[in-house]
C-alpha cells in the first residue's frame, strides 16, 4: 500500500460555493479514451446481481428499518425509495444537490421534502465495490447504522453479488485543484490518474491526538484498510445529543465512545487509528453523491460531512476543473 505524508496548502480563504448547482449531466459532456487505459472490470457499469435484504436501527432516530438493495438499470445511479411513504414522491436519488443536512451524518432529500438519513457508510461501500446502479428501498427515515462501519454493507453486497451492465462507467477526472476551506478545516480534490484518499485529524483528546491516513483507494484497499472502521463520539456529546432527541439508536454496539482518556467499548479499537480511517470512509461515501467514481486525489483536514458536501458542490460548479471519462471499448471503437 502506497503511503505518503500529507502536505496541505492553505488557500487564502473560503471559495464560493454554489448552493443549487446544475446536475452533472447538464454541465459536462462525455469523453472517451481507449480501453487499454482501464481494466475491463472497471470500464462498464455494475449493479447488484440479486436483492440484498437486511435490517437494523437508525443511530439518530432509533427506528428499526428494513432495507432491500435491488438491481437497477444502467444510468440509474443510487436511488433510495422510502416504502413507508405512499402519499407523495418517495424516491430520493443520491445526488450532489440532494444533500440537505450534514450536521450528524449525510441526509438527502427530494423536492417533496422526503429524506433519507445517514447514507454515507452504505454509499462508501457502493463507491469502492463498484456498484453504479441500485435501488435502496427502506421503510423508515434513516439507514441502519449496523456496527457503525461499512463492513456489514460490504458483506451484504458481497452476498448479493454484482452484475456487469452494458454501458460505460463514467469517471469524474479531476483536471485542476478544487478546494474548500472553513477555518482550519479543508477538503480538496487534486488531479491524479487514480482515486486516492488522504485525511488528517487533530483532536484535543489523548485517545485520538493527530492521525493521518493516505491510501490509493482500490476496492481491496477499502476492504482491508477502511471498511471496518467505526464512527465515533465523545460521551459528553452523546448525552447532549440524547437530550436533543438524537443518537437514540447509538450505543457501544455501533460507535466508538470516548470518555476522557479512555474508550468505553470493552472490545477497544479495531485499529489504533480507527478514527481517521473512519473519516476517510465518510469522505468516500460523501463524494459518491456525485454519481460517479473519481479519478483524482482527495485530501481532507479536520473535515466532516458539511465541508465534504461543499467540496462536491464546488466541483459541480466548476465544470472546467474536471471532465467525464469513460473507458468502454465499444465507445472507443465508435469514435
Cβ-based nearer residue to Zn ion, 311 or 317: 311
Q: CA 197, 60, 248 angle in degrees (round to 5)?
A: 135
d(CA 277, CA 226): 6
Q: Is 20 helix (H, G, I), strand (E, B) or coil?
A: coil
Active site residue 37: no
Min separation Cβ 70 and Zn ion, Å: 24
Min separation Cβ 151 and Zn ion, Å: 12
Min separation Cβ 150 and Zn ion, Å: 9
Number of Cβ within 10 Å of residue 34's Cβ equals 12
Cβ-based nearer residue to Zn ion, 288 or 327: 288
Cβ-based nearer residue to Zn ion, 44 or 145: 145
Min separation Cβ 189 and Zn ion, Å: 20
Cβ-based nearer residue to Zn ion, 217 or 324: 217
Cβ-based nearer residue to Zn ion, 77 or 148: 148
> What length does the chain have?
335
| Annotated active-site residue in 46, 60, 121, 305 | 305
Q: Is 109 helix (H, G, I), strand (E, B) or coil?
A: strand
The sign of the torsion formed by the CA atoms of 223, 225, 229, 233 equals negative
- Contact present, 266 and 252 (Cβ < 8 Å): yes
Residues within the interface to Zn ion (CB under 5 A)? 231, 282
Beta 91-93 vs 171-174: how paired, if at all? Answer: unpaired
- Residue burial 181-218, b: 16+ Cβ < 10 Å; e: rest: bbeebbbbbbeeeebbbbbbbebeeebbeebbbbbbbe
Active site residues: 305
Amino acid at each position: 500500500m502506497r503511503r505518503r505524508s500529507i502536505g496541505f496548502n492553505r488557500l487564502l480563504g473560503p471559495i464560493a460555493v454554489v448552493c443549487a448547482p446544475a446536475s452533472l449531466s447538464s454541465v459536462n459532456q462525455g469523453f472517451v479514451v481507449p480501453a487499454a487505459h482501464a481494466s475491463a472490470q472497471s470500464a462498464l457499469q455494475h449493479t447488484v446481481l440479486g436483492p440484498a435484504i437486511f435490517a437494523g436501527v437508525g443511530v439518530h432516530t432509533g427506528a428499526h428499518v428494513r432495507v432491500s438493495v435491488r438491481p437497477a438499470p444502467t444510468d440509474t445511479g443510487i436511488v433510495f425509495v422510502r416504502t413507508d411513504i405512499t402519499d407523495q414522491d418517495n424516491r430520493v436519488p443520491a445526488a450532489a444537490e440532494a444533500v440537505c443536512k450534514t450536521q450528524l451524518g449525510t441526509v438527502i432529500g427530494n423536492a417533496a421534502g422526503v429524506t433519507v438519513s445517514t447514507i454515507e457508510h452504505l454509499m462508501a461501500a457502493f463507491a469502492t465495490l463498484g456498484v453504479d446502479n441500485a435501488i435502496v428501498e427502506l421503510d423508515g427515515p434513516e439507514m441502519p447504522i449496523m456496527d457503525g462501519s461499512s463492513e456489514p454493507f460490504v458483506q451484504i453486497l458481497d452476498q448479493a453479488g454484482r452484475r456487469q451492465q452494458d454501458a460505460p462507467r463514467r469517471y469524474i477526472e479531476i483536471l485542476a485543484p478544487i478546494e474548500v476551506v472553513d477555518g482550519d478545516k479543508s477538503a480538496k480534490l487534486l488531479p491524479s490518474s487514480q482515486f486516492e484518499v488522504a485525511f488528517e485529524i487533530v483532536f484535543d483528546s489523548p485517545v485520538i491526538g493527530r492521525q493521518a491516513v493516505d491510501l490509493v483507494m482500490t476496492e481491496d484497499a477499502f476492504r482491508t484498510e477502511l471498511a471496518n472502521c467505526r464512527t465515533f463520539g465523545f460521551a459528553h456529546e452523546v448525552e447532549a445529543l440524547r437530550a436533543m432527541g438524537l443518537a437514540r439508536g447509538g450505543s457501544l454496539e455501533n460507535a466508538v465512545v470516548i470518555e476522557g482518556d479512555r474508550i468505553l467499548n470493552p472490545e477497544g479499537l479495531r485499529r489504533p487509528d480507527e478514527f481517521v480511517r473512519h473519516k476517510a470512509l465518510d469522505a468516500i461515501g460523501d463524494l459518491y453523491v456525485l454519481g460517479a467514481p473519481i479519478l483524482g486525489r482527495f485530501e481532507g483536514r479536520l473535515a466532516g460531512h458539511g465541508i465534504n458536501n461543499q467540496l462536491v458542490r464546488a466541483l459541480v460548479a466548476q465544470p472546467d476543473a474536471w471532465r467525464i471519462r469513460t473507458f468502454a471499448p465499444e465507445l472507443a471503437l465508435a469514435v
